[in-house]
Amino acid sequence: MRRGIAAGNWKMHGSRQFVADYVRALDGQVQSLECAVVLFPPVGYLPLLAESLRHLDLDRIVELGAQNLHTEVQGAFTGEMSGEMLADLGARWVLVGHSERREYAGETNDVVAAKTAAALRAGLKPMVCVGESEADRDAGRAEAVVIGQLESVLARCGGELGAIAYEPVWAIGTGRTATPALAEEMHALIRSALANHSAPAAELPILYGGSVKGGNAGALFAERDIDGGLVGGASLKAEEFMEIARALPG
């Protein structure tokens, strides 16, 4: 019912050469996957990545997304990109609410909800990231924080989103992955919160993110409510990213 998604968040990594090598490494592997594949390169490399995929006829298999967007369509917002511009460059997805943007760019739940609305306005599929910090978990408020983040988006935008990504902050880039059971517990909770908002809870993919690797992907994806992975570090190695994607059913 829900197709698996392997999503690669390159964060601020890459170069023209990296894009060329990466696409070459996907060729011959990505064609046999059952799951959907989405790549989130740094925005400046979107057109080159789109063109490189098209060149090898992989553009129908690999979808592209941006890591951020502005809420407005256009205007005097130096350094920003609108969802409409991202769509024009070939993006179909956009990350919103990634913990690094919440932390380094000060994005609050309200900003994340406004950006989700802007993504939908532009026809992009928002991949809405939620997740608690280590301090939240230690204080016993992990569930309240995650559901609070989710509900502020649902209250403003409804549930017709592209995907949710649960990414516990303490697991991002740390090598500390949530156990499959702990992740599943939060995914199931997220799914019931979606249902309470009459969102299409059964259809909306919920991805796990936080130190997903070739070696732990299979156990995570075996859980009932984990529909895929949002992969940072390990997505920079095309071979390992494909290994992760192969662990996902269609």
Binding site for ligand PGA (CB under 6 A): 9, 167, 172-173, 209-212, 230-234
Catalytic residue among 70, 98, 100, 240: 98
In 3D space, the residue among 156, 131, 165, 193 whose CA is nearest the CA of residue 71 turns out to be 156
Taking the CA atoms of 181, 187, 190 and 195 in sequence, report the sign of the dihedral they define.
Answer: negative
Q: Which residue is nearest to ligand PGA (CB)?
A: 232
User: C-beta of 176: minimal distance to ligand PGA in Å?
Assistant: 9
Nearest distance from residue 118's CB to ligand PGA, in Å? 21
Give the residue with the Cβ less far from ligand PGA, 186 or 234. Answer: 234
Contact 130, 172 (CB under 8 A): no
Q: How far is the CB of 136 from ligand PGA (least distance, A)?
A: 17
Q: What is the DSSP string of 151-200?
A: HHHHHHH-S--SEEEE--GGGTTSS-PPPHHHHHHHHHHHHHHHHHTT--
Sole residue written with tokens 């017709």: 160
What is the smallest separation between the CB atom of 129 and ligand PGA, expressed in angstroms? Answer: 7
Task: Give CA angle at 193 (212, 67), nearest 5°.
Answer: 45
Minimum CB distance to ligand PGA smaller for 123 or for 173:
173
Nearest 5°: CA angle at 60, between 19 and 11?
Answer: 35
Length of the chain: 250
Q: Which is nearer to ligand PGA, 119 or 198 (CB)?
A: 119
Closer CB to ligand PGA, residue 99 or residue 109?
99
Tokens 């909800």 -> residue: 113
Tell me the C-alpha distance between 100 and 230, whole Å.
14
Going from the C-alpha of 212 to that of each of 105, 171, 244, the distances in angstroms are 24, 9, 8
Shortest distance, position 112 Cβ to ligand PGA, whole Å: 15
At 77, list the tokens: 């917002």
Point out the catalytic residue in the list 63, 107, 132, 167.
167
Residue closer to ligand PGA (CB basis): 142 or 230: 230
- Measured from the CB atom, the residue of 107 and 167 that comes closer to ligand PGA is 167
Mark whether 98 is an active-site residue.
yes
- Least CB distance to ligand PGA at residue 98 (A): 6
Indicate if 167 belongs to the active site.
Answer: yes
Query: Position of tokens 């913990």?
Result: 99
Residues with catalytic function:
98, 167
